[in-house]
Amino acid sequence: MARALGDDGRVSIGSLELEHPVLNGSGTFDAIAALRTFGDELRRRFPFAGFVSKTITVSPRGGNPPPRLWETPAGLINSIGLPNKGLRGFLQHDLPELATLPVPLIVSVAGFSYEEFRHLVAEVAERPQVAAIELNVSCPNVKSGCVMGSEPDETGALMEVVRSLTSKPLIVKLTPNVSDVAAVAEAAERGGCDAVSLINTLRAVAIDPDTGSPWLGAGQGGLSGPAVRAVALAMTLDVAARVRVPVIGMGGIERGQDALDFFAAGASCVAVGTESFRDPAAGTRIRDEMVALLAKRGFESAQSDFAKVSEPTKK
């Protein structure tokens, strides 16, 4: 597999240059709300090497009816429903503010048809403030009724629609709710994506103990947190073995060792999601812990270290 990670710990994904290999998972950190809460200290100590926006859609969305959260053993089920201001609102209100962050901006988009994806990618990619685009393919295609990231053919067809629209890096965010995630990753790669990221949340349900009915307002949601880490690692291992593009691994990363496990499984970059809910500065802490662990093992440069760490997994 090709490694996007340099000796100095920098990561390249197409034209996207990251100073270190820790991102946020889309939808797990609202930088605008965080700036209101933590002020300029957030800019000075920004925990991620790049900022991945919450997913935007063509039309504004209010999101799912509450309740939207359920705590599980070492995890969280959420059913948020992609609330966002819509493409127009995002470009007008959020993009100028996100452009003030000290790191490259990766905008996550989701369409409910190929046409919507085409519109989103074309409009977002032409903005100079946008360094890369992540395609959230966990939404159903209203025409086929099929989740676009659930079948290699659907994902391949999507890439055919969007790839020619921009030379900026396109990252496909893979859903784990499929029978063969690596086959979907291969289709994304064949279609010209610059990287794949995984995993999105695992489909999950919580039952209200008082009523015996589903707890979440939308009925079902997605599971994240340490509860999914072992599953995410297995999928990262599968995908990294079958594609050459960089893999951004995520799923329950809580400590530096967890992140190293994902590098060992073949990831070139990791993302922190639910852990940021518990500790807003988790991205920085996890990176510091990783560096300390590698130093303790006598490794000096990031690439050789991660390569060595990955040795046992290579067949």
Partner 1 sequence: MSGATPPEVEVGLAAPEPGPRVEAPFGRRACPVIATESVGAYRLLAVEDHHGPAPLPGQFYMLAAADGWGGEAGERPYLGRAFSVCRSRGTRLEFLLERIGPGTDRLGRLSPGEQMLLVGPLGIGFSEPAAPSSTGVLLVAGGIGIAPIVTWAEALIASGAQPLTLAGFRSRAHTSAAQLLGGDVQIATDDGSQGHDGFVTELLEAELEHDDARAVYACGPPMMLEAVRAICARRAVQAQLALEEAMACGFGACFGCVVRTTTGYRRICVDGPIIDARDLDETWLER
Site residues (CB under 8 A) for partner 1, limited to 48-67: 54-55, 59-67
Q: Please, is 39 exposed, middle or buried when counting C-beta atoms within 10 Å of its C-beta (0-12, 13-18, 19+)?
A: exposed
Binding segment for partner 1 among 181-189, 272-280, 286-294, 298-306 (CB under 8 A)? Answer: 272-280
Interface mask (CB under 8 A) for partner 1, residues 67-96, using x and -? Answer: xxx-xxxxxx-xxxxxxxxx----------
Q: Is 139 a catalytic residue?
A: yes
**75-78/221-224 β-pairing:** antiparallel
Interface mask (CB under 8 A) for partner 1, residues 221-260, using x and -? Answer: xx--xx----------------------------------
Q: Does 45 bind partner 1 (CB under 8 A)?
A: yes
Closest CB to partner 1 among residues 84, 113: 84
Q: Does 144 bind partner 1 (CB under 8 A)?
A: no
Using CA atoms, how far apart are residues 64 and 81, in angstroms rounded to an integer? 5
- How many CB atoms within 10 Å of residue 205? 14
Q: Please, is 195 exposed, middle or buried when counting C-beta atoms within 10 Å of its C-beta (0-12, 13-18, 19+)?
A: buried
Binding segment for partner 1 among 2-10, 21-29, 164-172, 233-241 (CB under 8 A)? Answer: 21-29
**246 in helix, strand or coil?**
coil
Q: Does 166 bind partner 1 (CB under 8 A)?
A: no
Closest CB to partner 1 among residues 17, 279: 279
Upper half-sphere CA count for residue 264 (Cβ side, 13 Å): 15
Q: Does 34 bind partner 1 (CB under 8 A)?
A: yes
Binding segment for partner 1 among 5-13, 126-134, 216-224, 263-271 (CB under 8 A)? Answer: 216-224
**Cβ-contact 172, 181 below 8 angstroms:** no
Maximum distance among all Cα pairs of the chain, rounded to whole angstroms: 56
Q: Does 190 bind partner 1 (CB under 8 A)?
A: no
As a whole number of Å, the end-to-end CA separation of the chain is 11
Where in the sequence numbering do the catalytic residues fall? 139
